[in-house]
């Protein structure tokens, strides 16, 4: 599930299940084998409704579902994975609560953070920002391709998802650095044709493999 284009359904807190499903369908049409639901500051009830809608869609399409930040919502929606940031629930506590029911991905922004997540047993890493990004109001420092390659080497068989400033044009460089997948929000979700943008990134990784 962590390969090629890692789709992120990034929506405002007021969005509903229909909007989540519509965007997710476009990303799945572009080849995404995994969809992450990301709705910062959304009420729990609304987030759970969107997650359950995407669970049904992803199941029909043979794709995985990940929930950003919220382990409780991931478990209640029968998601495949939860993605946690550096300020979210600690990895050890999340693993104990998940009891093997979920893959756990960790966002990392330095080699030290990546090594800590690997030591803690993360199932995959998000690493970046590789380039500057506008998807976060206070982004971490840009890491670059050489740092991405170093994290890939340290991770060994654990998949690394490149994040931050990814575009279809930059996808080849990310794939060449050894990343298993790339996540892009603005360059795909806000593209005139999100499906075509997603497909371009996904095909780049498939060609590099």
How far lies 186's CA from each of 81, 133, 135, 193, in Å? 22, 9, 7, 12
The whole-angstrom separation of Cα 17 and Cα 33 is: 20
Instruction: Tell me the CA end-to-end span of the chain in Å, nearest whole number.
Output: 15
What is the maximum span of the chain, computed from C-alpha positions, in angstroms? 42
Domain residue extents for the chain: 4-208
The whole-angstrom separation of Cα 81 and Cα 79 is: 6
What's the pTM value of the predicted model, to 2 decimals?
A: 0.95
pLDDT tens profile 104-128: 999 999 999 999 999 999 999 999 9
**Residues with catalytic function:** 38, 107, 136
- The CATH fold assigned to 4-208 is TIM Barrel (3.20.20)
Q: The tokens of 53 are what?
A: 């809608």
pLDDT tens profile 93-104: 999 999 999 999
Length of the chain (residues): 209
The whole-angstrom separation of Cα 114 and Cα 18 is: 35
Q: Which residue, 153, 96, 102, is CA-closest to 127? A: 153
The predicted pLDDT at position 145 comes to 98
The whole-angstrom separation of Cα 63 and Cα 85 is: 23
pLDDT tens profile 17-64: 999 999 999 999 999 999 999 999 999 999 999 999 999 999 999 999
């Amino acid at each position: 599930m962590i390969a090629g284009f890692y789709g992120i359904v990034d929506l405002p807190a007021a969005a509903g299940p229909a909007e989540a499903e519509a965007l997710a369908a476009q990303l799945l049409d572009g080849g995404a084998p995994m969809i992450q639901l990301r709705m910062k500051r959304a009420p729990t009830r609304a987030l759970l409704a969107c997650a359950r809608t995407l669970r049904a869609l992803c199941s029909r399409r043979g794709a995985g579902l990940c929930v950003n930040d919220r382990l409780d919502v991931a478990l209640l929606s029968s998601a495949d994975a939860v993605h946690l940031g550096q300020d979210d629930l600690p990895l050890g506590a999340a693993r104990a609560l998940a009891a093997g029911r979920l893959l756990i991905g960790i966002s990392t922004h330095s080699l030290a953070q990546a090594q800590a997540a690997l030591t803690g047993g993360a199932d995959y890493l998000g690493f970046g920002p590789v380039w500057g990004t506008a998807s976060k109001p206070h982004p971490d420092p840009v890491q670059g391709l050489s740092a991405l390659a170093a994290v890939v080497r340290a991770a060994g068989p654990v998949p690394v998802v490149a994040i931050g400033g990814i575009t279809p044009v930059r996808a080849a460089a990310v794939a060449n650095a050894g990343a298993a997948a790339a996540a892009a929000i603005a360059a795909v979700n806000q593209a005139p044709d999100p499906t075509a943008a997603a497909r371009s990134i996904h095909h780049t990784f498939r060609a590099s493999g």
